[in-house]
Copies of this chain bind each other. A is one copy, B any other.
Amino acid sequence: MRFFSDNAASVHPAVLEALAAANHVDTAYDGDALSKSLDAAFSELFETPVTALWIASGTAANALALASLCPPHGSILCHRDAHIQNDECGAPEFYTHGAKLLLGEGEGAKLNPVTAAAALDAVANDVHRVQPHAISITNATEYGCVYTPDEVGALGALARARGFGFHMDGARFANAVAHLGCSPADVTWRAGVDILSFGFVKNGGMSAEALIFFKPELVGATHQRRKRAGHLLSKGRYLATQILALLEGDRWLANAHLANAKAQVLAIAAGTRLLHPVHANELFLRMTPDEGAKLRAQGFDFYDWAEREVRFVVSWDQDDRDIAKFAAAIAAL
């Protein structure tokens, strides 16, 4: 029973059906009818006109977003535990041609206006220092915490006040929205977000994320960058259809509710072991190596995250009986 990562989860049956349904001749790249319908589909979801591009990975989506917000000689403020800093092998640096990530602090991998301003203000404004141009946050965060619309809005106001772009890495955006119960608009553009990497792969998709531009002018050279990164796949309709299948009937949200709910079962079992509030589908627990070994001996797989700290990630498609067994095993430690 795998609690390593929601990347290991299966693909939602509706996605497979959509792939089969799309299996006929159509225009190549993103000129097909399905790809062309993404703007409208996301504009409806976000209650505002947006430009939406399919991208085969969250790393590429993030890096393209950052490249549209920050020049090579600039920096992007993010939390020191951000995925873009730690888990993308330098994709932001590659796509931006060498911009820096400026690291900020905050509980649960969340920046806040105080920590953000502290990091930004430490950079003297001259030609010798790499100047910040953007802020990037992850929602839900790398520690499974969720920024509320107000929290996002406070950072959005800071970004706006300084003339910065504002990006949200939403690899688990669905889990965040499911937790918040708000409109997707409330926690994005209404709170100042300019570009959202909207993750589908961890949430029932196969190989398609959506990159959402709330300000069309920020698309800029993203089409060229996507192409020259080899991310303008030649049969784009098979990416678009995955996304559309998950948008249909709000499957994306239903899946996220499932994953979050299953995570809550484990959270209750984990009790005081929890290192962060469990808002989404990730749990971080205090655990000795011996305790970890006991769980593994019972067939539960997961990552050691730090010394005496483990991470569990729950997927939308995990069997509730497995969840129950795991909860029992955790409680019994």
Contact = CB atoms under 8 A, between A and B. Distances in A.
Interface of A: 2, 4-5, 7-11, 16, 19-20, 23-29, 55-63, 71-73, 86-91, 93-94, 96-101, 127-131, 201-202, 206-207, 221, 223-225, 227-235, 238-239, 315, 317
Given A10-B24, A19-B16, A93 B98 contact: yes
Given A89-B224, A89-B227, A128-B227, A232 B59 contact: yes
A96 to B, nearest CB: 8
A207 B235 contact: yes
Contacts of A238: 11, 206-207
7 contacts: A8-B28, A57-B230, A71-B224, A72-B228, A86-B129, A207-B233, A229-B229
A315 B235 CA distance: 14
Contact of A89 (B7, B23, B129): B129
B228 A88 contact: yes
A232 B98 contact: no
Contacts of A206: 19, 235, 238
B11 A29 contact: no
Nearest to A28: B7
Contact of A87 (B2, B128, B317): B128
The 9 closest A-B pairs by CB, nearest first: A60-B230, A7-B28, A93-B98, A7-B234, A59-B230, A73-B224, A89-B227, A97-B97, A89-B228
A230 B227 contact: no
Contacts of A239: 207
B98 A207 contact: no
A10 B207 CA distance: 18
B93 A93 contact: yes
Nearest to A27: B8
A165 to B, nearest CB: 16
A87 B129 CA distance: 5
B10 A230 contact: no
A229 B227 contact: no
Contacts of A11: 19, 23, 235, 238
Contacts of A130: 89-90
Contact of A58 (B23, B59, B224, B234): B234
Nearest to A224: B73
Given A20-B16, A57-B233, A234-B57, A128 B72 contact: no
A221 to B, nearest CB: 6
Tell me which of A2, A7, A26 has the highest count of chain B C-beta atoms within 10 A of its own C-beta: A7
A57 B11 CA distance: 21
Nearest to A208: B207
